[in-house]
């Protein structure tokens, strides 16, 4: 299949996948509690908490809180759009915080990074008051995977946000733009990242790969579609190599050879061949 065919498949699949998210995120779910936590002056600065109505540690797969960052090219999306993903994790036993953040073009980087860090702090404050785990699994899809990777590996920004001692169980990055040098070898031809930054240069502070190299040894799973026409899978593979360095084995890259970009959303419908891989990794990472 040609790259052009993959682009067509991507455009045709997203409406169907979005409908699937809306259907799974509709109504009132049995056995789950949902609560919105606004924490800032901008209405997008909010967290949607989704958790089991009854916490049963003896039957929980792992003691960790999933902090999930949504995709949408840093330009679209909200926690509510991805409510189904919170329900997926919560039904698997993981209380989940779906993090909202300000979007471009009205807000440029580092607003998005700073918002997800503040959202994590708000989720942990809520969790401490409601008996939720203080250990976190950082997760995201597409642009959200980029922000999750920064939350994990940009230690200086975490410290500035008061999260220097954040107990990170692992990082799950799905379809993530994780290495700008791979994505954008010619900076003048990379509108996606330029849209985030609002300028053609000065990208180092937003490039997760720059922080992964020589960064903390955080268990990492990068899942990607080999047919992704928007973010090449090589960007995630390169990020994993940088995170592992010359001796590490804590970061893993797994590709679905038949999936494109948005198609990876099937992970959270239970219909992807990699759903089991993801859940097994989450349980292992959360146990430490």
* Domain layout of the chain by residue ranges: 3-26+61-287
Q: Pairing mode, if any, of strands 251-256 and 220-225?
A: parallel
List, for residues 110-123, the tens digit of each pLDDT value. 999 999 999 999 99
> Closest Cα partner for 165 from 123, 131, 136, 206?
136
pTM here is 0.94
List, for residues 73-130, the tens digit of each pLDDT value. 999 999 999 999 999 999 999 999 999 999 999 999 999 999 999 999 999 999 999 9
> Closest Cα partner for 74 from 231, 189, 268?
231
For residue 32 the two structure tokens come to 């789950």
In the CATH scheme, what is the homologous superfamily, with its name and number, of domain 3-26+61-287?
Alpha/Beta hydrolase fold, catalytic domain (3.40.50.1820)
Angle 260-245-63 from CA coordinates, rounded to 5°: 70
Sheet bearing 65-69, strands edge to edge? 32-38, 46-52, 96-99, 65-69, 136-141, 168-174, 220-225, 251-256
String of DSSP letters for 121-184: HHHHHHHHHTT--S-EEEEEETHHHHHHHHHHH-HHHHHHTT-TT--EEEEEEES----HHHH-
List, for residues 39-69, the tens digit of each pLDDT value. 999 999 999 999 998 765 544 545 899 999 9
List, for residues 220-274, the tens digit of each pLDDT value. 999 999 999 889 999 999 999 999 998 889 999 999 999 999 999 999 999 999 9
Measured distance CA(80)–CA(98) in Å, rounded: 8
Q: How many CB atoms lie within 10 A of CB 69?
A: 32
């Amino acid at each position: 299949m040609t790259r052009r065919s993959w682009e067509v498949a991507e455009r045709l699949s997203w409406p169907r996948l979005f409908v699937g998210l809306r259907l799974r995120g509709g109504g009132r779910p049995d056995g789950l509690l949902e609560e919105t936590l606004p924490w800032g002056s901008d209405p997008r600065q909010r967290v949607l908490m989704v958790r089991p109505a009854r916490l049963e540690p003896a039957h929980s797969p792992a003691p960790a809180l999933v902090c999930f960052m949504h995709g949408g090219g840093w330009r679209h999306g909200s926690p509510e759009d991805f409510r189904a993903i919170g329900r997926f994790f919560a039904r698997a036993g993981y209380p989940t915080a779906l993090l909202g953040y300000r979007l471009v073009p009205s807000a440029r980087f580092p607003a998005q990074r700073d918002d997800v860090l503040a959202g994590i702090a708000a989720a942990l404050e809520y969790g401490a008051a409601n008996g939720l785990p203080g250990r976190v699994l950082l997760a995201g899809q597409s642009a959200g995977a980029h922000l999750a990777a920064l939350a994990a590996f940009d230690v200086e920004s975490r410290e500035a946000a008061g999260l220097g001692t954040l107990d990170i169980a692992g990082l799950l990055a799905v379809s993530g733009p994780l290495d700008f040098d791979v994505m954008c070898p010619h900076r003048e031809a990379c509108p996606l990242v330029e849209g985030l930054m609002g300028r053609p240069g000065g990208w180092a502070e937003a490039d997760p790969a720059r922080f992964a190299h020589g960064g903390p040894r955080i268990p990492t799973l990068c899942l990607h579609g080999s047919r992704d026409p928007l973010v090449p899978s090589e960007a995630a593979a390169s990020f994993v190599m940088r995170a592992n360095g010359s001796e590490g084995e804590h970061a893993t890259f797994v590709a679905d050879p038949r999936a494109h970009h948005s198609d990876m959303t099937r992970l959270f419908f239970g219909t992807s061949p990699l759903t089991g891989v993801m859940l097994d990794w989450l349980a292992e990472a959360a146990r430490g």
